[in-house]
Amino acid sequence: MKEVHFVVQGKGGVGKSLCASILAQYLQERSPLPLHCFDTDAVNPTFSRWKALNVETVKILTEHNTIDTRPFDEMIESLVELDGIGVIDNGAATFVPLIAYMNEGNIAELLKDNGVRVVMHVPMNGGQALGDCLAGLSQTLKNVDADVVVWLNDFKGAVQEGGKDFTDFKIYTQNKHRILGIVHLPNRNPDTFGKDIFLMTENNLTFNEANNSPELFKLAPRSRLKRVKDELFAQLDKLDLDQDDEA
C-alpha cells in the first residue's frame, strides 16, 4: 500500500466517522489507486455503515478491553501487501490501546520501512470537549512518528480557547512542523445545511449518493450538499496526500 490514514481521537462523539467518510470519499474520487477502508471501532462501528465505501470491520478489542494483536497484526500486514490507499477509523474505546500498540511496536516506522506512508487524522471539537480533544491530539503527536492532519469540527462550538484560534494554541505552534494541515468543518445554518448533512449521514450516504437521491434531497438541498463537498475537497486538495512521485 502506498499510503494509510488513521483517524483517531480518544474523545467520543466528535464526528470522527464523519471525518473518515469525507476523507475516504475524497481519496476515492481524487486518487486513481484502489481504496481500502477499515473500521476498528468495537463499540460504534459507524464508518462501516457507509456501504459505498466497502468498509471492512476489524474486531480488535477483547472482552478485557485490550487489543487482540492477531487481527490487528493481520490488518498491518494487509496495509503492506495491498495495492492502493487505506483509511482506518478507530473508535474512542480503542484509542488508548491502539496508540500504545503503535508506540510499542513502532508501527509507523515499520510501515514506512515497507514503503507505506502514514498520516494520522485527529478530529477536534470546541466547547466542553476541547480539553479531552487536546489530550487526544497530544497523545497522538507524542506516541506516533507520523504527519498529522487536524480536523476542526465546530458543530459543538468553535475550537477556540481564551479568545485564541487553534493556530495560536501552544500545541499547534510547538508541533507545526508535524502538522500537515487543518481541515475546518464550520457550524453551518442548522435549518438548511445542518438538516441536509444530518439526513445524508443518518442514511449513511456519500455526497455522490445524496446527489443521486432526488427522492430524499430536492434541488436546493443537493446544491447545498455539493457546496459543502466542494469546500471540503478544496481544503483536502491543499494537503500533501497521495502525491504521485512518478508524476
Q: What is the pLDDT of residues 115-131, one digit of tens each?
A: 999 999 999 999 999 99
Looking at the structure, tell me whether residues 142 and 90 fall in a common domain. yes
- What distance in Å separates the CA atoms of residue 218 and residue 204, rounded to the nearest whole number? 18
Choosing from 155, 171, 186, the residue where a domain stops is 186
Residue type at position 159? V
pLDDT of residue 51: 96
Please report whether residue 246 resides in a domain: no
Q: Quick one: cell of 216?
A: 430524499
Looking at the structure, tell me whether residues 25 and 133 fall in a common domain. yes
pLDDT of residue 70: 86
Please report whether residue 247 resides in a domain: no
pLDDT of residue 89: 96
Confidence check: pLDDT of 174 > 60: yes
pLDDT of residue 246: 41
Looking at the structure, tell me whether residues 24 and 71 fall in a common domain. yes
- What distance in Å separates the CA atoms of residue 162 and residue 165, rounded to the nearest whole number? 9
Element (H, E) at 56: strand 55-57
- Per the structure, how many domains does the chain have? 2
Q: Which residues pair with 124 in a beta bridge?
A: 152
Choosing from 157, 186, 215, the residue where a domain stops is 186
Choosing from 162, 186, 210, the residue where a domain stops is 186
Looking at the structure, tell me whether residues 56 and 158 fall in a common domain. yes
Contact status, residue 87 vs residue 7, Cβ threshold 8 Å: yes
Looking at the structure, tell me whether residues 50 and 20 fall in a common domain. yes
Confidence check: pLDDT of 243 > 60: no
Please report whether residue 192 resides in a domain: yes
pLDDT of residue 245: 44
3-state secondary structure at position 127? helix
Looking at the structure, tell me whether residues 123 and 193 fall in a common domain. no
- What distance in Å separates the CA atoms of residue 121 and residue 180, rounded to the nearest whole number? 10
Proportion of the chain above pLDDT 70, given as a percent: 96
- What distance in Å separates the CA atoms of residue 15 and residue 123, rounded to the nearest whole number? 7
Confidence check: pLDDT of 65 > 80: no
Looking at the structure, tell me whether residues 182 and 207 fall in a common domain. no
- What distance in Å separates the CA atoms of residue 21 and residue 15, rounded to the nearest whole number? 10
pLDDT of residue 155: 87
- Can you tell me the mean pLDDT for 8-24? 95
Residue given cell 471492512 in the structure block = 56
Q: What is the pLDDT of residues 189-221, one digit of tens each?
A: 989 999 999 999 999 999 999 999 999 999 999
Confidence check: pLDDT of 87 > 90: yes
Looking at the structure, tell me whether residues 120 and 176 fall in a common domain. yes
Please report whether residue 17 resides in a domain: yes
pLDDT band (50, 70, 90) for residue 97: confident
pLDDT of residue 205: 97
Looking at the structure, tell me whether residues 90 and 156 fall in a common domain. yes
Contact status, residue 9 vs residue 136, Cβ threshold 8 Å: yes
Q: Kindly report the pTM of this predicted structure.
A: 0.94
Q: Quick one: cell of 72?
A: 490487528
Query: Greater confidence, 82 or 97?
Result: 82
Proportion of the chain above pLDDT 90, given as a percent: 79
3-state secondary structure at position 38? strand
Q: Quick one: cell of 74?
A: 493481520
pLDDT band (50, 70, 90) for residue 79: very high
CA nearest to 36, candidates 8, 60, 9, 58: 58
Please report whether residue 245 resides in a domain: no
Looking at the structure, tell me whether residues 41 and 161 fall in a common domain. yes
Q: How far is CA 95 from CA 13, 43, 66, in A?
A: 13, 12, 11
Q: For residue 160, what are the domain limits? A: 2-186
CA nearest to 24, candidates 87, 76, 117: 87
- Can you tell me the mean pLDDT for 47-53? 96
Looking at the structure, tell me whether residues 157 and 209 fall in a common domain. no
Confidence check: pLDDT of 39 > 60: yes
- Can you tell me the mean pLDDT for 173-179? 97
- Can you tell me the mean pLDDT for 146-170? 94
Strand 147-153 and strand 35-39: the pairing is unpaired
Residue type at position 93? A
Looking at the structure, tell me whether residues 195 and 131 fall in a common domain. no
Alpha helices in the chain (DSSP H): 16-30, 69-81, 95-104, 107-113, 130-143, 170-174, 193-202, 207-211, 219-237
3-state secondary structure at position 179? strand
Domain CATH for 170 = 3.40.50.300
